[in-house]
Amino acid sequence: MIVIDGELLCGVLDKASFGASDYGLVHSVYELYGADVAGKLLGILSRLFTNFLQHRAFTCRMDDLILTPMGDKVRSSLLEKAKSLGYDSAVENFPSLSTTEKEKVPRALRTLLEEVLRDDKKMAGLDMTVKTKLSKLTASIAEACIPTQLLRQFPYNHMQTMTLSGAKGSAVNVRQISCGLGQQELEGRRVPVMVSGKTLPSFRPFETKAIAGGYVASRFLTGVKPQEFYFHCMAGREGLIDTAVKTSRSGYLQRCLVKHLEGIRVHYDNTVRGSDGSIYQFAYGGDALDVTKQKHLYQFDFVAQNHLSFARRLQPYLVNDVVDQDSAVSHMKQVLKSHAKLAKKKSSKPKKVLSLDPVLSLYNPTRYMGSTSEEFAMALNAYIKSDSHHLARSTSTPSRFMSRRKQVSYRDFRDLMNHKYMRSLAEPGEAVGLLASQG
């Protein structure tokens, strides 16, 4: 999505750009203009969307879920062909049956299934064989019917609009409504067999049909059979219990982490220390950057396109007389040169340890401009050398294109990025221990 001078030139304002996603519209506005403007944007768009929905209602109709007659035929034929899939999978699981006479296979299979029932490992192998075959069947039905065989196609199908835009729902929900529910699982396995050899009283002992193992071929649109409904309830109950148990466990675990890590914070010398003053890290995260400020740090194209807005917000001139401008920059050049020399060497001998210390270990990033991580400096250098989009230029070469927007010079761009790195450092007093326990 491209917006210039407040005008949307191309792209779609969907969940990827407006939602909680990386490099989205709200995130970019926050980077460029700050929290107040980003908050106003969220408020304005919320009112706009609410007003839009009041005038143009959005609802899901039955014909958004129905397949075409051709789609129904394809679905029915695939299920008809797969009628014997459960039996075939069970036979395939036992290699000894390949040499048995065809007439004796059913009886021999029942004997083997009785033995398997008593051995959990063998039962897990049988489940895996059957599940693999049935998952391919479910995928083939979904692929054949959605979205090509839906009665209404995408722009006019509200269910598809909802799932594709990321507003609500997923492809799995559409599949379960229009095609079939698929295999119901309990703890990653098929529905367990009782002592009698049945999964439900309505089935015969040691039944090999897919439905007896919890495979639901029916769909929500046209209804499910009583047995299939029961299996689906079993799987749903397991999900509810898992959620309840995991919530209490994870809640207590988080409480323990918070209590243990609440004393860890960033100090004025950029070290991460505990409540007793012991050092855990010399630079938070190795590069001293705050995770909430570093997202756009490597988006060099974005910074070059909006260099004036960044310069107005960051105001680099305020620190010119306060911080050292040259020491860290010159040392970084030497470090990068030694990195380049090592990269050129193609000998099979092990590489020697660098004699030059990292810049961050010698120069405090809050007092020396250009004291950044080597990774950031190398990425910035690579971007300036390539500059595939011609968003910046050297001071000696004139601009290639006529434009009312001035291109930023390489030198100013490098200074701006170094200043952005400095502004992205973790603030002293930041409770990074609590932040880690929240994650």
How far is it, in rounded angstroms, from Cα 293 to Cα 420?
Answer: 9
Q: Identify the burial level of 372 via C-beta atoms within 10 angstroms of its C-beta, where 0-12 means exposed, 13-18 middle and 19 or more buried.
A: buried
How far is it, in rounded angstroms, from Cα 190 to Cα 199?
Answer: 10
How far is it, in rounded angstroms, from Cα 99 to Cα 108?
Answer: 11
- Residue 165's pLDDT is 81
Tally of CB atoms within 10 A around 327: 17
Could you give all domains of the chain from N- to C-terminal order, each with its CATH number? Answer: 2-57 (no CATH), 62-240 (1.10.132.30), 295-423 (1.10.357.120)
Q: What is the mean pLDDT of each run of 10 residues along the chain (439 residues)?
A: 84 78 85 91 91 87 93 94 89 85 87 86 89 93 92 90 87 93 92 90 91 93 94 93 90 92 91 91 89 86 87 86 87 85 62 68 88 89 78 58 69 89 90 85
- Establish how many alpha carbons lie within 13 A of residue 221's alpha carbon, considering only the half-sphere containing its beta carbon: 18
DSSP letter (8 states) at residue 287? T
DSSP letter (8 states) at residue 349? S
- Residue 355's pLDDT is 62
DSSP letter (8 states) at residue 63? G
Assign residue 290 a region (left: φ > 0; alpha: ψ between -120 and 50; beta: otherwise).
beta
- Give me the helix-helix angle, 374-386 and 327-344, nearest 10°: 80
- Given a contact cutoff of 8 angstroms between Cβ atoms, the answer to whether 308 and 32 are in contact is no
- Residue 389's pLDDT is 61
- Residue 176's pLDDT is 94
- Residue 226's pLDDT is 95
- Residue 16's pLDDT is 77
pTM over 0.85: no
Tally of CB atoms within 10 A around 333: 13
Q: Which value, in Å, is the radius of gyration of the alpha carbons in the chain?
A: 31
Please report, for residues 225, 276, 303, 372, the alpha-carbon distance to residue 409 in angstroms, rounded to integers and kept in the order given: 70, 48, 13, 21
How far is it, in rounded angstroms, from Cα 123 to Cα 126?
Answer: 5
- Given a contact cutoff of 8 angstroms between Cβ atoms, the answer to whether 138 and 82 are in contact is no
How far is it, in rounded angstroms, from Cα 414 to Cα 376?
Answer: 11
